Structure 1
Amino acid sequence: MAERICIGAIAGAFGVRGEVRLKSFTSQPDDIASYGPLWSEDGKRSFTVRLTRPVTGGLGARLSGVDTREDAEALKGVTLWADREKLPALPDDEFYHTDLIGLEVYDAGGVLIGKVRAVYDHGAGDILEIFGAGRKQTLLLPFTRAFVPTVNLAAGRIIADPPEEEETE
Protein backbone atom coordinates (compact mmCIF):
# COMPACT_ATOMS: atom_id res chain seq x y z
CA MET A 1 0.00 0.00 0.00
CA ALA A 2 1.18 3.49 -0.81
CA GLU A 3 2.81 5.64 1.90
CA ARG A 4 1.03 8.68 0.51
CA ILE A 5 -2.28 9.14 -1.23
CA CYS A 6 -3.18 11.87 -3.71
CA ILE A 7 -5.95 13.97 -2.19
CA GLY A 8 -5.95 17.07 -4.37
CA ALA A 9 -4.36 19.20 -7.04
CA ILE A 10 -3.52 22.84 -7.56
CA ALA A 11 -5.68 24.17 -10.37
CA GLY A 12 -3.94 27.54 -10.62
CA ALA A 13 -3.50 30.94 -9.04
CA PHE A 14 -6.35 32.87 -7.47
CA GLY A 15 -5.94 36.57 -6.81
CA VAL A 16 -2.67 38.50 -6.64
CA ARG A 17 -1.31 37.56 -3.20
CA GLY A 18 -0.32 33.93 -3.75
CA GLU A 19 -3.66 32.25 -3.16
CA VAL A 20 -4.24 29.05 -5.12
CA ARG A 21 -7.34 27.31 -6.43
CA LEU A 22 -7.43 23.74 -5.10
CA LYS A 23 -9.34 20.76 -6.40
CA SER A 24 -10.01 18.44 -3.49
CA PHE A 25 -10.36 14.69 -4.05
CA THR A 26 -11.54 14.03 -0.50
CA SER A 27 -15.14 12.97 0.17
CA GLN A 28 -15.70 16.24 2.06
CA PRO A 29 -13.72 18.85 0.05
CA ASP A 30 -12.84 20.99 3.10
CA ASP A 31 -11.10 18.00 4.73
CA ILE A 32 -8.09 18.52 2.46
CA ALA A 33 -6.70 21.09 4.91
CA SER A 34 -6.83 18.69 7.87
CA TYR A 35 -4.38 16.07 6.53
CA GLY A 36 -1.31 18.30 6.34
CA PRO A 37 1.35 18.80 5.67
CA LEU A 38 0.64 17.89 2.07
CA TRP A 39 3.43 16.88 -0.28
CA SER A 40 4.21 17.25 -3.96
CA GLU A 41 4.21 13.91 -5.81
CA ASP A 42 8.02 13.74 -5.80
CA GLY A 43 8.06 14.44 -2.04
CA LYS A 44 10.47 17.37 -2.44
CA ARG A 45 8.02 20.08 -1.30
CA SER A 46 5.54 20.17 1.53
CA PHE A 47 2.77 22.64 2.20
CA THR A 48 0.50 23.51 5.06
CA VAL A 49 -2.92 24.43 3.73
CA ARG A 50 -5.26 27.10 5.03
CA LEU A 51 -8.57 27.31 3.19
CA THR A 52 -9.75 30.84 2.53
CA ARG A 53 -13.04 30.60 0.63
CA PRO A 54 -15.03 28.61 -1.90
CA VAL A 55 -14.17 29.57 -5.48
CA THR A 56 -15.50 28.50 -8.85
CA GLY A 57 -14.24 25.00 -9.54
CA GLY A 58 -12.74 24.37 -6.12
CA LEU A 59 -11.44 25.99 -2.97
CA GLY A 60 -9.32 29.07 -2.43
CA ALA A 61 -6.32 28.38 -0.21
CA ARG A 62 -3.07 29.75 1.11
CA LEU A 63 -0.11 27.38 0.99
CA SER A 64 3.00 27.82 3.12
CA GLY A 65 5.88 29.21 1.09
CA VAL A 66 3.60 30.56 -1.66
CA ASP A 67 3.52 34.35 -1.34
CA THR A 68 3.04 35.75 -4.85
CA ARG A 69 0.80 35.14 -7.82
CA GLU A 70 3.87 33.97 -9.74
CA ASP A 71 4.63 31.36 -7.03
CA ALA A 72 1.01 30.17 -7.22
CA GLU A 73 0.98 30.04 -11.04
CA ALA A 74 4.18 27.97 -11.03
CA LEU A 75 2.36 25.28 -9.00
CA LYS A 76 -0.52 24.79 -11.45
CA GLY A 77 -1.01 21.06 -12.03
CA VAL A 78 0.94 19.96 -8.94
CA THR A 79 -0.82 17.11 -7.14
CA LEU A 80 -1.05 17.13 -3.35
CA TRP A 81 -0.34 13.96 -1.36
CA ALA A 82 -1.14 13.17 2.27
CA ASP A 83 0.65 10.70 4.51
CA ARG A 84 -1.52 7.59 4.58
CA GLU A 85 -1.55 7.33 8.37
CA LYS A 86 -3.24 10.74 8.60
CA LEU A 87 -6.21 9.57 6.53
CA PRO A 88 -9.18 7.91 8.19
CA ALA A 89 -9.53 4.14 8.23
CA LEU A 90 -12.30 3.05 5.88
CA PRO A 91 -15.11 0.58 6.53
CA ASP A 92 -14.59 -2.93 5.13
CA ASP A 93 -16.63 -2.18 1.98
CA GLU A 94 -14.83 1.07 1.04
CA PHE A 95 -11.41 1.45 -0.56
CA TYR A 96 -8.94 4.12 -1.51
CA HIS A 97 -8.59 4.18 -5.32
CA THR A 98 -4.83 3.86 -5.05
CA ASP A 99 -5.25 0.49 -3.29
CA LEU A 100 -7.34 -0.90 -6.15
CA ILE A 101 -4.93 0.08 -8.93
CA GLY A 102 -2.72 -2.87 -9.87
CA LEU A 103 -4.94 -5.56 -8.33
CA GLU A 104 -5.51 -8.65 -10.45
CA VAL A 105 -9.13 -9.22 -11.48
CA TYR A 106 -10.51 -12.74 -11.84
CA ASP A 107 -13.95 -13.93 -12.90
CA ALA A 108 -15.98 -16.22 -10.61
CA GLY A 109 -14.46 -19.26 -12.33
CA GLY A 110 -10.92 -18.19 -11.45
CA VAL A 111 -9.93 -17.01 -14.93
CA LEU A 112 -7.69 -13.94 -14.96
CA ILE A 113 -9.43 -11.01 -16.66
CA GLY A 114 -6.62 -8.50 -16.19
CA LYS A 115 -5.37 -5.84 -13.80
CA VAL A 116 -6.98 -2.62 -12.61
CA ARG A 117 -5.25 0.14 -14.55
CA ALA A 118 -7.29 3.09 -13.22
CA VAL A 119 -10.36 4.02 -11.22
CA TYR A 120 -12.66 6.76 -12.51
CA ASP A 121 -15.41 8.67 -10.79
CA HIS A 122 -17.48 10.83 -13.11
CA GLY A 123 -20.19 11.42 -10.52
CA ALA A 124 -22.38 8.35 -10.99
CA GLY A 125 -20.14 5.90 -9.14
CA ASP A 126 -16.68 4.46 -9.53
CA ILE A 127 -15.62 2.65 -12.71
CA LEU A 128 -12.69 0.22 -12.84
CA GLU A 129 -10.55 0.23 -15.99
CA ILE A 130 -9.21 -3.30 -16.43
CA PHE A 131 -6.56 -4.27 -18.96
CA GLY A 132 -5.01 -7.63 -19.55
CA ALA A 133 -2.87 -9.56 -22.00
CA GLY A 134 -4.88 -10.75 -24.97
CA ARG A 135 -7.54 -8.07 -24.54
CA LYS A 136 -8.26 -5.96 -27.60
CA GLN A 137 -9.52 -3.10 -25.45
CA THR A 138 -9.85 -2.18 -21.82
CA LEU A 139 -12.85 -3.35 -19.85
CA LEU A 140 -14.75 -0.65 -17.97
CA LEU A 141 -16.58 -2.21 -15.05
CA PRO A 142 -18.90 -0.45 -12.59
CA PHE A 143 -17.45 -0.77 -9.11
CA THR A 144 -20.64 -2.08 -7.52
CA ARG A 145 -21.34 -5.19 -5.48
CA ALA A 146 -23.24 -6.67 -8.44
CA PHE A 147 -20.18 -6.53 -10.74
CA VAL A 148 -17.43 -6.71 -8.12
CA PRO A 149 -18.62 -8.95 -5.28
CA THR A 150 -15.17 -9.49 -3.69
CA VAL A 151 -12.14 -7.28 -3.08
CA ASN A 152 -9.29 -8.91 -1.17
CA LEU A 153 -6.54 -6.34 -0.65
CA ALA A 154 -4.39 -8.75 1.35
CA ALA A 155 -4.39 -11.27 -1.51
CA GLY A 156 -4.09 -8.52 -4.14
CA ARG A 157 -7.12 -9.68 -6.09
CA ILE A 158 -10.65 -8.82 -7.09
CA ILE A 159 -13.37 -11.27 -8.08
CA ALA A 160 -15.62 -9.73 -10.71
CA ASP A 161 -18.76 -10.74 -12.55
CA PRO A 162 -18.49 -8.73 -15.79
CA PRO A 163 -21.28 -8.69 -18.34
CA GLU A 164 -20.80 -10.93 -21.37
CA GLU A 165 -18.64 -9.20 -23.97
CA GLU A 166 -19.91 -9.03 -27.52
CA GLU A 167 -17.53 -9.87 -30.32
CA THR A 168 -17.06 -6.94 -32.69
CA GLU A 169 -15.32 -7.01 -36.02
Structure 2
Amino acid sequence: MFRVKAALQQTTGLLAACRQSPTLLAARYRASPLSQRRLYTSEPREGAAGGRVFETTAAQFDKDVLDSDVPTIVDFYADWCQPCKMLGPLITKAVEENGRVNLAKINVDENLELAGDYKIGSLPTVMAFRGGEPVAAFIGMRPPAAIAEFIKDVAEGTEVGSAGRSK
Protein backbone atom coordinates (compact mmCIF):
# COMPACT_ATOMS: atom_id res chain seq x y z
CA MET A 1 0.00 0.00 0.00
CA PHE A 2 2.89 2.34 0.83
CA ARG A 3 4.41 1.83 -2.65
CA VAL A 4 1.14 2.72 -4.33
CA LYS A 5 0.75 5.85 -2.22
CA ALA A 6 4.36 6.92 -2.87
CA ALA A 7 3.98 6.32 -6.61
CA LEU A 8 0.75 8.31 -6.66
CA GLN A 9 2.41 11.22 -4.84
CA GLN A 10 5.35 11.13 -7.23
CA THR A 11 3.03 11.05 -10.27
CA THR A 12 0.89 13.88 -8.93
CA GLY A 13 3.99 16.01 -8.36
CA LEU A 14 5.31 15.21 -11.83
CA LEU A 15 1.99 16.12 -13.45
CA ALA A 16 1.90 19.43 -11.60
CA ALA A 17 5.44 20.24 -12.71
CA CYS A 18 4.72 19.22 -16.30
CA ARG A 19 1.64 21.44 -16.50
CA GLN A 20 3.99 24.34 -15.95
CA SER A 21 6.61 23.07 -18.40
CA PRO A 22 5.74 20.80 -21.37
CA THR A 23 9.47 20.53 -22.07
CA LEU A 24 9.93 18.91 -18.67
CA LEU A 25 7.28 16.33 -19.54
CA ALA A 26 9.08 15.42 -22.76
CA ALA A 27 12.43 15.16 -20.97
CA ARG A 28 10.97 13.00 -18.21
CA TYR A 29 9.27 10.69 -20.71
CA ARG A 30 12.47 10.15 -22.68
CA ALA A 31 14.36 9.34 -19.48
CA SER A 32 11.67 7.04 -18.10
CA PRO A 33 12.34 3.30 -18.02
CA LEU A 34 8.74 2.82 -19.18
CA SER A 35 9.55 4.61 -22.43
CA GLN A 36 12.29 2.06 -23.03
CA ARG A 37 9.93 -0.92 -23.04
CA ARG A 38 9.93 -2.90 -26.23
CA LEU A 39 6.74 -3.62 -28.15
CA TYR A 40 8.05 -7.01 -29.17
CA THR A 41 10.41 -9.54 -27.73
CA SER A 42 13.41 -10.59 -29.77
CA GLU A 43 12.79 -14.25 -29.01
CA PRO A 44 11.35 -15.96 -32.09
CA ARG A 45 8.23 -17.99 -31.47
CA GLU A 46 5.90 -20.07 -33.54
CA GLY A 47 2.15 -19.83 -33.52
CA ALA A 48 -0.11 -22.82 -33.08
CA ALA A 49 -0.45 -23.16 -36.86
CA GLY A 50 3.26 -22.52 -37.47
CA GLY A 51 3.92 -18.88 -38.48
CA ARG A 52 7.25 -17.68 -37.07
CA VAL A 53 7.24 -14.27 -35.36
CA PHE A 54 10.56 -12.55 -34.66
CA GLU A 55 12.31 -9.20 -34.45
CA THR A 56 15.10 -8.54 -36.92
CA THR A 57 17.65 -5.84 -37.69
CA ALA A 58 19.20 -4.32 -40.80
CA ALA A 59 22.17 -6.67 -40.39
CA GLN A 60 19.91 -9.75 -40.41
CA PHE A 61 17.29 -8.49 -42.89
CA ASP A 62 18.70 -10.22 -45.98
CA LYS A 63 18.96 -13.58 -44.21
CA ASP A 64 15.68 -13.33 -42.29
CA VAL A 65 13.46 -11.79 -44.98
CA LEU A 66 14.94 -11.59 -48.48
CA ASP A 67 16.51 -15.08 -48.48
CA SER A 68 13.52 -16.74 -46.80
CA ASP A 69 11.72 -19.55 -48.63
CA VAL A 70 8.55 -18.58 -46.74
CA PRO A 71 6.58 -15.41 -47.58
CA THR A 72 7.43 -12.86 -44.90
CA ILE A 73 5.37 -9.97 -43.60
CA VAL A 74 7.53 -7.10 -42.29
CA ASP A 75 6.07 -4.77 -39.65
CA PHE A 76 8.00 -1.49 -39.53
CA TYR A 77 7.18 0.06 -36.14
CA ALA A 78 8.47 2.38 -33.41
CA ASP A 79 8.03 2.01 -29.65
CA TRP A 80 6.53 5.52 -29.37
CA CYS A 81 3.94 4.95 -32.14
CA GLN A 82 0.45 4.38 -30.71
CA PRO A 83 -1.06 2.88 -33.92
CA CYS A 84 1.93 0.50 -34.00
CA LYS A 85 1.07 -0.64 -30.49
CA MET A 86 -2.49 -1.39 -31.61
CA LEU A 87 -1.55 -3.09 -34.89
CA GLY A 88 1.31 -5.22 -33.51
CA PRO A 89 -0.79 -7.73 -31.53
CA LEU A 90 -3.41 -7.97 -34.31
CA ILE A 91 -0.90 -8.80 -37.02
CA THR A 92 0.98 -11.19 -34.73
CA LYS A 93 -2.22 -13.09 -33.96
CA ALA A 94 -3.20 -13.24 -37.64
CA VAL A 95 0.23 -14.56 -38.69
CA GLU A 96 0.23 -17.17 -35.92
CA GLU A 97 -3.27 -18.32 -36.89
CA ASN A 98 -2.43 -18.47 -40.62
CA GLY A 99 0.82 -20.36 -40.09
CA ARG A 100 2.03 -20.08 -43.70
CA VAL A 101 3.92 -16.79 -43.44
CA ASN A 102 6.57 -15.37 -41.14
CA LEU A 103 6.38 -12.01 -39.39
CA ALA A 104 9.56 -9.95 -39.06
CA LYS A 105 9.31 -6.86 -36.87
CA ILE A 106 11.70 -3.97 -37.39
CA ASN A 107 12.10 -1.04 -35.03
CA VAL A 108 12.70 1.90 -37.37
CA ASP A 109 14.37 3.97 -34.64
CA GLU A 110 17.12 1.35 -34.44
CA ASN A 111 17.23 0.63 -38.19
CA LEU A 112 16.95 4.04 -39.86
CA GLU A 113 18.96 3.11 -42.94
CA LEU A 114 16.76 0.09 -43.67
CA ALA A 115 13.62 2.19 -43.19
CA GLY A 116 15.09 4.70 -45.65
CA ASP A 117 15.89 1.96 -48.17
CA TYR A 118 12.22 0.98 -48.25
CA LYS A 119 11.01 4.61 -48.11
CA ILE A 120 9.14 4.17 -44.84
CA GLY A 121 7.54 7.57 -44.26
CA SER A 122 4.60 6.66 -42.02
CA LEU A 123 4.10 4.18 -39.22
CA PRO A 124 3.04 1.49 -38.95
CA THR A 125 4.00 0.26 -42.41
CA VAL A 126 3.50 -3.40 -43.23
CA MET A 127 5.21 -4.90 -46.28
CA ALA A 128 4.94 -8.41 -47.69
CA PHE A 129 7.99 -10.07 -49.28
CA ARG A 130 8.02 -13.15 -51.46
CA GLY A 131 11.11 -14.43 -53.27
CA GLY A 132 13.18 -11.53 -51.94
CA GLU A 133 10.90 -8.88 -53.45
CA PRO A 134 8.23 -6.66 -51.88
CA VAL A 135 4.85 -7.72 -53.29
CA ALA A 136 2.35 -5.72 -51.24
CA ALA A 137 2.12 -3.14 -48.46
CA PHE A 138 -0.25 -1.13 -46.34
CA ILE A 139 0.18 1.84 -44.03
CA GLY A 140 -1.70 2.45 -40.82
CA MET A 141 -4.26 0.57 -38.82
CA ARG A 142 -6.59 -2.00 -40.43
CA PRO A 143 -9.46 -4.03 -38.99
CA PRO A 144 -8.57 -7.60 -37.94
CA ALA A 145 -10.56 -9.15 -40.84
CA ALA A 146 -8.66 -7.03 -43.40
CA ILE A 147 -5.32 -7.98 -41.81
CA ALA A 148 -6.23 -11.68 -41.93
CA GLU A 149 -7.26 -11.31 -45.60
CA PHE A 150 -3.99 -9.52 -46.42
CA ILE A 151 -1.96 -12.32 -44.80
CA LYS A 152 -4.05 -15.03 -46.49
CA ASP A 153 -3.52 -13.41 -49.91
CA VAL A 154 0.24 -13.14 -49.32
CA ALA A 155 0.43 -16.77 -48.16
CA GLU A 156 -1.48 -18.00 -51.22
CA GLY A 157 0.42 -15.80 -53.65
CA THR A 158 -2.76 -14.19 -54.91
CA GLU A 159 -3.34 -10.51 -55.59
CA VAL A 160 -3.60 -8.65 -52.32
CA GLY A 161 -7.12 -7.68 -51.26
CA SER A 162 -8.56 -4.59 -49.62
CA ALA A 163 -6.11 -4.39 -46.70
CA GLY A 164 -3.13 -3.57 -48.85
CA ARG A 165 -2.10 -2.53 -52.28
CA SER A 166 -0.25 -4.68 -54.77
CA LYS A 167 3.11 -3.51 -55.89
Higher fraction of helix: 2
TM-score of the pair, normalised by structure 1: 0.27
TM-score of the pair, normalised by structure 2: 0.28
Higher fraction of strand: 1
